[in-house]
Amino acid sequence: MPGPVQAPPGYTVIARDAVHSTQDEIRALAAEGAADGTVLWAARQLTGRGRLARHWDSPEGNLYVSLLVRTGVDLADAAQLSFITALAVFYALGRHLAGKARLALKWPNDVLLDGAKVAGILLETETGTDGGQPLVMIGVGVNLVSHPADAAYPATDLTSAGCGHLTPAGLLGDYLAAFAEWRQRWQDGGFAPVHEAWLDRAAGLGGPVTARMPGQTLTGRFVTLDERGALVLETETGTRHRVTAGDVFF
Residues 6+ apart with CB under 8 A from 111: 86, 89, 90, 93, 103, 104, 105, 117, 118, 119, 120, 142
Asked if 41 touches ligand BTN (CB under 6 A), the answer is no
- Report how far residue 235's alpha carbon sits from residue 217's, in angstroms, rounded to the nearest whole number: 11
Query: Which of 65/135 has CB closer to ligand BTN?
Result: 65
Asked if 168 touches ligand BTN (CB under 6 A), the answer is no
Give the one residue of 54, 96, 228, 240 binding ligand BTN; rule: CB under 6 A. Answer: 54
Nearest one of 192, 197, 177, 172 to 15, comparing CA atoms:
172
Minimum distance between the CB of residue 101 and ligand BTN, rounded to whole angstroms? Answer: 22
Give the one residue of 2, 5, 13, 21 binding ligand BTN; rule: CB under 6 A. Answer: 21
Asked if 2 touches ligand BTN (CB under 6 A), the answer is no
Query: Which of 139/173 has CB closer to ligand BTN?
Result: 139
Asked if 108 touches ligand BTN (CB under 6 A), the answer is no
Give DSSP secondary structure letters for 35-79: PTTEEEEEEEESS-B-GGG-B----TTSEEEEEEE-SS--GGGTT
Minimum distance between the CB of residue 228 and ligand BTN, rounded to whole angstroms? Answer: 20
Asked if 139 touches ligand BTN (CB under 6 A), the answer is yes
Give the one residue of 122, 197, 205, 233 binding ligand BTN; rule: CB under 6 A. Answer: 122
Minimum distance between the CB of residue 237 and ligand BTN, rounded to whole angstroms? Answer: 32
Sheet arrangement for strand 216-225: 240-243, 231-234, 216-225, 208-213, 247-249
Minimum distance between the CB of residue 18 and ligand BTN, rounded to whole angstroms? Answer: 12
Asked if 141 touches ligand BTN (CB under 6 A), the answer is yes
Binding range to ligand BTN, per CB under 6 A, among 1-9, 59-67, 171-179, 223-231: 59-67
Please list the residues that pair with 232 across neighbouring strands.
Answer: 224, 242
- Report how far residue 1's alpha carbon sits from residue 227's, in angstroms, rounded to the nearest whole number: 41
Helices and strands, counts by H and E, the chain: 4, 12
Asked if 147 touches ligand BTN (CB under 6 A), the answer is no
C-beta of residue 173 within 8 angstroms of C-beta of residue 179 = no
Asked if 66 touches ligand BTN (CB under 6 A), the answer is yes
Instruction: For residue 228, give the H/E element and its range.
Output: none
C-beta of residue 163 within 8 angstroms of C-beta of residue 102 = no
Q: How many residues bind ligand BTN (CB under 6 A)?
A: 20
**Using CB atoms, what's the residue nearest to ligand BTN?**
120
Residues within the interface to ligand BTN (CB under 6 A)? 21-23, 45, 48-51, 54, 56, 64-66, 110, 120-122, 139-141
